[in-house]
Amino acid sequence: MIKRMIFYFLTGLFCITTLSAQGRVVEPFNNGWSFKKAPATTELSVNARTWDAGWQAVELPHTWNAKDMQVVAANFYEGAGYYKKMYTLPEAMEGKRLFLHFEGVGACAEVYVNGELATAHKGGYSAFACEITKLLKAGEENEIMVKADNKARPDVIPVNHHLFGVYGGIYRPVWLVATDPYAICVTDHASSGVYITQKNVSRKQAEVEVKVKLDNGSLQPAPVTLKNTIYDQSGKLIKTHSQSFDLSPQGIRSFTSSFTIKHPHLWHGRKDPYLYKVVSQLIQEGKVIDEVVEPLGLRHYEARAGEGFFLNGEKYPMYGVCRHQDWWGLGSALQNEHHDADLATIMDLGATTVRFAHYQQSSYLYSRCDTLGLIIWAEIPFVNRVTGQEAENARNQLREMIRQNFNHPSIYVWGLHNEVYRPHEYTRELTQSLHDLAKTEDPDRYTVSVNGYGHMEHPVNMVADIQGMNRYFGWYEKQLQDIEPWVEGLEKNYPHQKLMLTEYGADANIAHQTEYLGESLNWTKEFYPETFQTKTHEYHWSVIANHPYILASYLWNTFDFAVPMWERGGVPARNMKGLVTFDRKIKKDSYFWYKANWSEEPVLYLTQRRNPDREKKITSVTVYSNIGTPQVYLNGVELTGIRQGYTEVHYVFDEVTLHDGVNVLKAVVTHKGETHEDQIEWNYNGEKKREADTYSIKGEHWGF
C-alpha cells in the first residue's frame, strides 16, 4: 500500500515513466546545497556569488527559522537567505530540456543559473517551476543560486506573520526534471499538465474528460500521438483514446479526450477510497517520449443547506479537524514521514475531513488523503489583514493552488479567505474576484470564505458557495452555552444558507490544571488550563452533533503550532489549541473525547490524568467509553451513581469523595469478549484553589 501511494505521488507530480534517453527523467535535487543568511539584496548576481565565507552545508528541505520562530515571541529572523549548488550536466541529459521544480520556498524566491535570473516567484506555499536549459553549460560546473526571502510585504499574502509564521528557506523538496523537446507541459503553474474533470457521477455511469497541455520546445512542428488511458485499481484497462497531430512550436496547446465509464467503482471517503488512474502518454515514432500518471477518484459532493453533507448521494459525517504543517524543532522543513505521522494521528482520531489551514500544503499530503479517503479543504493564505496591494498575488496563488491540485479527488472546496475584514468593500470585491476565478478554473468544486463574526449579514459574507464562521464561545467571546442559541438563530433566520463552523476550541497548556472551571475564560491571562479546553470541546461537540444546519465542523487545531508574534498562556510563540502537543508526544484529554465520539476503534479513557494534585475532596470523575457503560473503581471500591453526559460515550460520576493521600481510579469494560482497562492516580492533601501565577512557566520547563 505505501509503495503504491508513493508511486502515485511521484508519477502524478513528475511523470516518472522511463529513464531511457527518450523518456522523462526526474531526480531529487536536494543534496549538495550551501546556505548563508544575509541582508536582502537585489544585486544577487553581483554580490552573493562573490561571498566566500560563512556558507554552511545543508540538505533540503531546510528552513532558517526552525528554532527562532518557535521559542521567543516577536524575535526571529525575517529577510533574505541564499542557497547555492554546483551542478554538472551528465552526458545522458544533453539534448534534453531541463527544468527545476520547487515544491515550496518561503516566501519569495529568485532563481539564478550561472548568474542569470531564471525565474522569480511570490508566495511561500505553492510550487513553481522554471526551464533552465539554455542557462546551463554542457561539460562544466554550473552554479544554481536561490534567494529566499520571508520578510512580510504588503503585496504578497499572508501580509504579516501574525496568525502563523512564514518559515524562510527552501523548506520543501526540489526536483530536476528532464524531458524531450516535445513534452507534457512542466511549467503550467507547476501543475502536472493534465486536468481531469468528472460530470454526472453516479453508480450507473460517470463522464470523464482528460485535458492535456503539450509544449513543443523546438522551432518546428512535430508529428506526435497523445494517448489517454484509464485503468482500474488492479491495473485493468478500462478505456483508452488516441489522437495524432502536428504539435505546433508556438504556444502551449491543449488536447482533450472524453470517456464514459459504466457502473463505476466510486470513491467513498474513508469507507472506500477507490482510485482509478489516468495515464497520459506522448508518443513519437512508436515510442513513449513522455508520460503522466494521475489519480482518478469518481465521486459526487453535495452540501445541502440545513441537511448536511452528502457523498455520492449518501449523507456523510463531516468530523473535521484543522492542521498547521509545522513541527517543533523542524519548522516547516518536513519529510514525508512527518506528514504521514500527522495523517496517522488524524485517522486514529476518527476524523473524516481536514481543513489544511491557512495555506496550500504539501502535494504529497493531498495525495495521501486521496488514498486514505479524507475529504479535504484546501485554501490560500489570504488571512488576517489587507493592505490594498495583495489582490494580484492572491489571485495568482489561488490559480496555482487549483492547477497544482486539480486532480486530487479528496479536495471538495477551495478556501478564499479567513477572517479578513476592513476595508470591507475592498475585501468583499477581492473575495468575489477570487470566487469567480475559482469557478473559471474549476467550476465543479465549492468555494468557501470564513468570517470570525457570528452574523450572516456581515458585509464580507455571502460571496462564496459556503459561508464559514469561526466561533470561540467561552474563550474569545461570551460563554460556552451561547453556541446553541447562536446556531438556532441562524437556523431560523437563514435556513437556505450553507454554513460550516470552521474553527472552535480553546487553548490548553498541559502544565496548567484546575478543577475550578466557569463558563468562560479570559484568554488574555496567563492561565490556560487543559481542563477548560476539555470542557469546551465536550459541550461544543454535543451541540454541533445535534444541528445538521452545521454542514461540517472543523475543530481548531489538531496540533499546537508556532505563532511567532504571540506570548500567551505561559509559553512564548505558541498557539496551544491543539489536541496534541507541538512535539506530537502528548495527546490531550480532548483528543480522546473526539476519538470516543468519532472512531470505530475501542476507547476507554479516564480524564484529568495530568491533574493529579486534587483541589477538592469531593470531586467528579469523567470517563469516555465507546464500548459500553464502564465500571469505575476508587481504591478498589466500585463507584455508583453513574450518569450519561453530553453524548452516548460520555460518563460522569458526581460527588466522588477522595481519600487523603493517593487515590487510584480504575475503569473497566468488557466488550466482545475482551476486557479493556484504564487507570490513573490522584493525590488529595487538603482543600485549595491555586493561583494562576503558579502556572506561568515557560515551555522549556516541561519538555518542549
Tell me, what CATH number does 6's domain have?
2.60.120.260
335 three-class SS: coil
Asked whether residue 303 is assigned to any structural domain, the reply reads: no
Give me the number of domains the chain comprises: 4
Tell me how long the chain is: 704
Asked if pLDDT for residue 526 goes beyond 90, the answer is: no
CATH number of domain containing 518? 3.20.20.80
pLDDT higher than threshold 90 for residue 11: no
Q: What is the mean pLDDT of residues 343-348?
A: 98
User: Where in the sequence is the domain holding 207, given as residue range(s)?
Assistant: 194-296
For residue range 375-426, list pLDDT tens digits in order.
999 999 999 999 999 999 999 999 999 999 999 999 999 999 999 999 999 9
Same domain, 222 and 124: no
Q: Is the pLDDT of residue 49 over 80?
A: no
Rounded to whole angstroms, the Cα distance separating 247 from 613 reads 75
Q: Are residues 369 and 227 in the same domain?
A: no
CB atoms within 10 A of CB 32: 14
Query: How many Å apart are CA 522 and CA 239, to the nearest integer?
Result: 61
**Would you say residue 9 has pLDDT above 70?**
no
Q: Quick one: CA torsion of 351, 628, 585, 536, rounded to 10 degrees?
A: 70
Domain boundary among 242, 264, 296: 296
639 and 541 belong to one structural domain:
no
- Mean pLDDT score, 306-310: 97
CATH code for the domain in which residue 630 is found:
2.60.40.10
Do 346 and 291 share a structural domain? no
Rounded CA-CA distance 271/350 in Å is: 12
Q: What is the mean pLDDT of residues 357-363?
A: 97
CB 417 within 8 A of CB 382: yes
In a domain, 306, yes or no: no
pLDDT average, residue stretch 93-102: 95
With a cut of 70, say whether residue 692 has pLDDT above it: no
Looking at residue 8, its pLDDT comes to: 43
What's the Rg (C-alpha) of the chain? 27
Q: Could you tell me the pLDDT band of residue 522, with boundaries at 50, 70 and 90?
A: confident
DSSP code per residue over 55-84: -EEE-SS--TTTTHHHHSTT----SEEEEE
Assign 51 a pLDDT band (cuts: 50, 70, 90).
confident
Q: How far is CA 585 from CA 71, 509, 556, in A?
A: 18, 14, 18
Residue 162: is its pLDDT beyond 80?
A: yes
Q: Would you say residue 305 lies in a domain? A: no
pLDDT at residue 19 tops 50: no
Given a cut of 60, is residue 584 above it in pLDDT?
A: yes
pLDDT at position 243:
98
CA atoms within 13 A on the CB side of 617: 6
- For residue 73, pLDDT beyond 60: yes
pLDDT of residue 54: 85
45-49, 100-104, 487-491, 630-634: range with lowest mean pLDDT: 45-49
- Does residue 18 register a pLDDT over 70? no
Asked whether the predicted pLDDT for residue 6 surpasses 50, the reply is no
Tell me, what's the pLDDT at 46?
Answer: 45
DSSP class of 136: -
CB atoms within 10 A of CB 370: 24
Task: Note whether residue 189 is domain-resident.
Answer: no
pLDDT category of residue 2 using cuts at 50, 70 and 90 = very low
471 CB contacts (<8 Å, ≥6 apart)?
452, 454, 477, 483, 486, 501, 503, 504
Q: Report the pLDDT value the prediction gives residue 353, as an integer from 0 to 100.
A: 99
Mean per-residue pLDDT for 366-382? 98
Q: What number is the average pLDDT over the span 113-132? A: 98
Q: Which of the residues 419, 503, 530, 538 is marked catalytic? A: 419
Q: Does residue 231 sit in helix, strand or coil?
A: strand
Cβ atoms < 10 Å from Cβ of 667: 22
How is residue 527 written as a grid cell? 492561565
C-alpha cell at 195: 486536468
pLDDT of residue 14: 43
Q: Is the pLDDT of residue 694 over 50?
A: no
Answer yes or no: do 635 and 498 share one domain. no
pLDDT for 258-293, tens place per residue? 999 999 999 999 999 999 999 999 999 999 999 999
Say whether both 201 and 173 belong to one domain.
Answer: no
Q: What pLDDT was estimated at residue 3?
A: 40
**513/541 same-domain check:** yes
> What distance in Å separates the CA atoms of residue 526 and residue 522, rounded to the nearest whole number?
9
Confidence grade of residue 432 (pLDDT, cut at 50, 70, 90)? very high
Q: Give dist(CA 180, CA 92) in Å, integer.
A: 12
Residue 41: the pLDDT is 53
Residue 301 within a domain: no
**699 secondary structure, DSSP code:** G
Question: Residue by residue, what is the 3-state secondary structure of 551-589?
Answer: EEEEECCCECEEEEEEEECCEEEEECCCCECCCCCCECH
Residues 550 and 569 in one domain: yes
Average pLDDT value for residue range 49-73:
91
Amino acid at 597: N
Beta-carbon contacts of 442 under 8 Å, excluding residues fewer than 6 positions away, are 402, 406, 414
Of residues 91 and 412, the one with the higher pLDDT is 412
- Read off the pLDDT of residues 614-661 as tens digits, 9 standing for 90 and up: 999 999 999 999 999 999 999 999 999 999 999 999 999 999 999 999
Give residue 697's pLDDT band: very low, low, confident or very high (50, 70, 90). Answer: very low
**How does strand 205-216 pair with strand 194-199?**
antiparallel
- Counting residues of the chain whose pLDDT is more than 70, the rounded percentage is 93
pTM: 0.94
Same-domain check for residues 110 and 231 = no
Q: What is the Cα 48 distance to its own chain's centre? A: 35
**Are both 662 and 527 inside the same structural domain?**
no
Residue 309: inside a domain, yes or no? no
42 within domain boundaries: yes
Whether residues 213 and 289 fall in one domain: yes
Hey, is 484 helix, strand or coil? helix
What is the percent of the chain where pLDDT is above 90? 90
C-alpha cell at position 69: 520562530
State residue 45's pLDDT score: 47
pLDDT-derived band at 696 (thresholds 50, 70, 90) equals: very low
425 catalytically annotated:
no
State yes or no: pLDDT of 7 exceeds 60.
Answer: no
Q: How many CB atoms lie within 10 A of CB 149?
A: 22
Domain boundary among 247, 262, 296: 296
Which among 135, 157, 184 is the end of a domain?
184
Q: How confident is the model at residue 234 (pLDDT cuts 50, 70, 90)?
A: very high
| Parallel, antiparallel or unpaired: strands 499-503 and 466-470 | parallel
Does the residue 629 lie in any domain?
Answer: yes
Mean pLDDT value across residues 417-440: 97
pLDDT higher than threshold 50 for residue 211: yes
Q: Where are the beta strands (DSSP E) in 629-684?
A: 631-634, 637-638, 642-644, 650-657, 661-671, 674-684
Amino acid residing at 592? F
How confident is the model over 303-308, as a mean pLDDT?
Answer: 97
Q: What mean pLDDT, rounded, does the chain reach?
A: 93
| Distant-in-sequence, close-in-space partners of 584: CB < 8 Å, separation ≥ 6 | 327, 328, 341, 342, 345, 559
* Residues 178 and 217 sit within 8 Å (Cβ to Cβ): no
Q: What is the pLDDT of residue 16?
A: 37
Quick one: 26 and 172 in the same domain?
yes
Tell me if 309 sits within 8 A of 318, measured CB to CB.
Answer: yes
Residues 6+ apart with CB under 8 A from 91: none
